[in-house]
Structure 1
């Protein structure tokens, strides 16, 4: 049986130049391995771009290199000594260098059982889990606080705003297009929605939220980070969950300004960075919590309505996400 894969064949600043689609025979399973037929794969365009540019220092890319991190699918074959999963079971996988292919082989221990292999469960794990863990551990979000979330209509942001409202927080959501505003309104959890293309973020926050932001949840960086930082409340926490604008530039912006602590020292505030893998021992807790909310209808999961199907569409889905067009989680159906 052949396996169609999107692979990195060379480093390049262009996804189309760096990658190609190939077909290779599926390897024989080891005794403790399982074969998964991927049904949906999640697009992580910013991370992917750093990878095919050769700028991820902890990944030793050997060409041809299969990339992609997250997928859901069904088990179609198991090794001789596999005991805890079975053929036909729906599973989620979160592993660097596995997702952008029709089939993948992983060890039994790496498979995460899920109720169904659907786009919604892919959006919940790992993206939704990241939101849960970031709010719990890094933001340390408390009941009734004021939280401002950038990229709030994205795969991560739309989960974060809903979880924040469950703590009766005042939720400020930032996005950049009318259709993204509409998505946020449909969640019915945002107290203030700011379309940064129509309103000036710096002016709005300094006028309406000066020194009262308990948690700034930022995945944009640069000017957004600065605006959040300037308006943190006493004991406020600015959580960096991504650096979209910086990673989109040829290099990080070089600035000449006072150090961060000048803005936050007298407030006892802090800047904190979130990385999902550092909370691996809590990920199962996060999955169980989010799956339960979703199954009870208490959490909306928004998948971008644009249709992307087949390995061939991964490049287009990535370009779509990088262009800032996404509303919800961008997913490719296989």
Structure 2
């Protein structure tokens, strides 16, 4: 009997080591419309995972033991009798909360997305690249030739966002935190200005070079980054919140005493907007097709972090690596 190795939550805790354990479970017999996938690569979403194992994700009903993880790619190893459009050997992408951190997974045919190959690059495009595309299109409403500033620009999301912005001939300002990340951003040929915040002060650079010139601030960090973007928005500028990494790292959200946000942006007609990928589910196929075509035409580069993580046992190490800010590109685990 083939057993499925899974990383599961066994309890809520402040520590992933205490919250999780590895178990082995029998693979269930497939029902008519189900597909069995042997995962080859899984994506790491350490900040979301941390909120989950701390019990701070209110919309997830966690029943222990709970398999966590969101995205993976793999190869179909078996299909149910009612499956029509998928065959054994097909490469598949899956994006579903509570599925990825395991060697095998059973999904409905409708949730199995066929891809050209089960590679880390296609894993990165779906859903991370999809998020970047939809955030720029729907939330940022990015226009040709605008100025956009992107935080965490060398990460899995950020490195795609800067390239998509350059596709619109925008002036792209990219923010990162070390020389290795600077080199990654330079290799994309998409950034007009790169700010290494370990060597330059973000607020000072933006105030000096981009005061009232930021058409779109694309921020997944929050806190001081949010403040710097907000202060320098252009008339009709849009500050897009795509994450809260700094705040979620802290024991609690920072309590701010000061003028309300609208006092600094009302006279500019500027706005603060938040992006959530799942609210645009009906547009996911469009976004995937667009990104896949760009990649196949070599018009976009997909960067996967070169650090090797192998096996279910390495997920915790990969998560720690990402939380420590070491990543350049998408962090993945190979199975």
TM-score (norm 1): 1.00
Q: What is the RMSD of the two structures over their aligned residues, measured on CA atoms?
A: 0.4
Partner of 2:46 in structure 1? 45
- Equivalent runs, 1:74-93 vs 2, <5 Å: 74-93=75-94
**1:182 CA displacement:** 0.5
Q: Moved runs in structure 1, 4+ residues, more than 3 A?
A: none
Partner of 1:195 in structure 2? 196
Partner of 1:308 in structure 2? 309
- Matched position secondary structure for 2:25: strand
- Matched position secondary structure for 2:93: strand
- The answer on 1:211 being equivalent to 2:236 is no
The CA distance in 2 between the partners of 1:3 and 1:246, in whole Å, is 36
The CA distance in 2 between the partners of 1:225 and 1:271, in whole Å, is 10
The CA distance in 1 between the partners of 2:270 and 2:247, in whole Å, is 23
- Structure 2 gaps of 5+ residues are none
- Matched position secondary structure for 2:127: helix
- Equivalent runs, 1:95-174 vs 2, <5 Å: 95-174=96-175
Partner of 1:12 in structure 2? 13
Partner of 1:32 in structure 2? 33
The CA distance in 2 between the partners of 1:191 and 1:315, in whole Å, is 36
The CA distance in 2 between the partners of 1:185 and 1:81, in whole Å, is 49
Partner of 1:181 in structure 2? 182
**1:123 CA displacement:** 0.5
- Matched position secondary structure for 1:91: strand
**1:64 CA displacement:** 0.6
**1:117 CA displacement:** 0.2
- Matched position secondary structure for 1:172: strand
The CA distance in 2 between the partners of 1:269 and 1:276, in whole Å, is 23
Partner of 1:229 in structure 2? 230
Partner of 1:293 in structure 2? 294
The CA distance in 2 between the partners of 1:257 and 1:305, in whole Å, is 43
**1:150 CA displacement:** 0.1
Partner of 1:65 in structure 2? 66
The CA distance in 2 between the partners of 1:199 and 1:74, in whole Å, is 45
The CA distance in 1 between the partners of 2:74 and 2:264, in whole Å, is 47
Count of residues in correspondence between the two structures: 334
The CA distance in 1 between the partners of 2:35 and 2:166, in whole Å, is 40
**1:238 CA displacement:** 0.2
- Matched position secondary structure for 1:291: helix
- Matched position secondary structure for 2:87: coil
- Matched position secondary structure for 1:75: strand
- Matched position secondary structure for 2:265: helix
- Matched position secondary structure for 1:37: strand
- Structure 1 gaps of 5+ residues are none
The CA distance in 1 between the partners of 2:258 and 2:198, in whole Å, is 26
**1:249 CA displacement:** 0.6
The CA distance in 1 between the partners of 2:21 and 2:167, in whole Å, is 44
**1:10 CA displacement:** 0.8
The CA distance in 1 between the partners of 2:253 and 2:113, in whole Å, is 36
**1:61 CA displacement:** 0.6
- Matched position secondary structure for 2:211: coil
The CA distance in 1 between the partners of 2:185 and 2:18, in whole Å, is 36
The CA distance in 1 between the partners of 2:199 and 2:300, in whole Å, is 29
**1:84 CA displacement:** 1.4
- Matched position secondary structure for 1:280: helix
The CA distance in 2 between the partners of 1:256 and 1:195, in whole Å, is 29
The CA distance in 2 between the partners of 1:165 and 1:193, in whole Å, is 14
- Matched position secondary structure for 2:169: coil
**1:171 CA displacement:** 0.2
Deviations 1:95-136 (A, max 9, x none): 000000000001000011100000000000000010000000
TM-score (norm 2): 0.99
